[in-house]
Amino acid sequence: MPNFETSAQQTIPNTMQALALSEPSDAFTLSEMTFPIPQCASDELLVKIEYVGLNRVDAIFAQQGFMPWKFPHILGLDAVGVVVKAAQGVYPKVGERVMWHANIAQQGVLSEYAKVPNYAVSVVPDNISAQQAATLPCAGMLALICLDKLHLKEGESILIEAGAGAIGQFAIQFAKQRGADVFTTASKRNHKLVKKLGADFVFDYQDKKLCEKICKELGPTGFDAVLDSVGGEATNRNIELMRFCGRIACLKPLPVIDNGLMFLKAPTISIVSLGGAWLAKSLCAQQKMSFLCQFLLQNLSENKIQLPQISEVKFEQNSVTEALHRQLNGSFTGKQIVKI
């Protein structure tokens, strides 16, 4: 058995409180439940959770469930907290604040404690608060992975769907860092926000003449790249707006794409998944998530990126259930985080 070091400032209990899903449904609700404290392997850290960032995917899985899950299941994937137990010689050590995107196949992080492999976390710098760090993992990493898969270069044009969402806000900023011309869609009330983040052209996603107006600004060549976070019919429309052999990164399952359109545009299509890093048991991919989170923290620490507006949610079953339903209906702009 490995030798573990624990926090001298607190006694680790035998049980913890968590918010768990008894069964998935469209009218899902979470319940406050008691679970045993997770038992750690030699390469795992026990973390006392401070904040959990909520994502739309949390709400989708609350509706639909996920095949490997056994119920009741603790929801939540993005966590920030302090290491309270670690094997001797393992880094990060006890007392360090860390953030990570959790293994989707295991229990989530809407709980007082959680375990995580030490190689999958990033240490949060002292000049970044736990609240700020909680906004970063899922949305920030998806934005970065999409731009990497798109091989976005200086001077190229990119369409970023849903620019006012958390993924879109990060993607706009990182695309501008790479010197791209950024086109984005958003509701009219958020046009000022996305322009402030660096978008060069903004369009109302509800405009019936959306394609016509985009083509007027873009010209005849088409987009070099598209970040498609919407899916469905928008994917076909976005491929039509691309240049020949353009690139598209998709965050949603692919719809049926017309064969003639595929032949006409010959697009390079990339699928982006964070959960796959865990499901495929890819140690390299899990470590890469740690590196990406470190990059996000560095950019924030150096004031190179702005965060979405933060809304704090109580660690209470009704409050978090309502917050997850808000993730689905799009009734807010920003990032919801739960204070544990």
Q: pLDDT, tens digit, for every residue of 174-211?
A: 999 999 999 999 999 999 999 999 999 999 999 999 99
Which pTM was predicted? Answer: 0.96
Distance CA 136, CA 118 (A): 18
| Neighbour count for residue 316 (Cβ, 10 Å) | 13
> For residue 3, what pLDDT band results from cuts at 50, 70 and 90?
confident
Contact 135, 55 (CB under 8 A): no
Q: How far is CA 296 from CA 20, 45, 52, 222, 230, in A?
A: 29, 22, 17, 30, 23
Q: Which two tokens stand for residue 300?
A: 């924030």
pLDDT at 128 over 70: yes
What architecture is the 139-271 domain classified under in CATH? Alpha-Beta Complex (3.90)
Q: pLDDT, tens digit, for every residue of 235-255?
A: 999 999 999 999 999 999 999
Amino acid code (one letter) for 207 = D
pLDDT at 1 over 70: no
Distance CA 180, CA 266 (A): 22
Q: Which two tokens stand for residue 302?
A: 């150096």
| H or E stretch at 334 | none
Q: Which two tokens stand for residue 257?
A: 């794409």
pLDDT at 20 over 90: yes
> For residue 319, what pLDDT band results from cuts at 50, 70 and 90?
very high
pLDDT at 44 over 70: yes
Q: What is the pLDDT of residue 8?
A: 60
Mean pLDDT of the chain: 96
Q: pLDDT, tens digit, for every residue of 157-167?
A: 999 999 999 99
Which residue, 113, 96, 104, is CA-closest to 47? Answer: 113
Percent of the chain with pLDDT over 90: 94
Query: Would you kindly state where each structural domain of the chain is located, as residue ranges?
Result: 4-135+283-339, 139-271
Q: What is the mean pLDDT of residues 260-286?
A: 96
Left, alpha or beta for 66 (phi > 0: left; psi -120 to 50: alpha)? Answer: beta
Which residue, 157, 208, 146, 224, is CA-closest to 184? Answer: 157
Name 117's Cβ contacts closer than 8 Å, sequence gap at least 6: 43, 44, 45, 286
Contact 13, 37 (CB under 8 A): yes
112: helix, strand or coil: coil
Quote the Cα angle for 169-222-260, to 5°. Answer: 115
Q: State in Å, rounded, how far the first CA of the chain is from the last one.
A: 31
By mean pLDDT, which of 48-52, 161-165, 176-180, 330-334 is the weakest?
A: 330-334
Distance CA 98, CA 79 (A): 8
329: helix, strand or coil: helix
Q: Do domains 4-135+283-339 and 139-271 have the same CATH topology?
A: yes
Superfamily of domain 4-135+283-339: Medium-chain alcohol dehydrogenases, catalytic domain (3.90.180.10)
Give the DSSP letter string of 8-46: TTS---SEEEEEEESS--TT--EEEEEEEPPPP-TTEEE
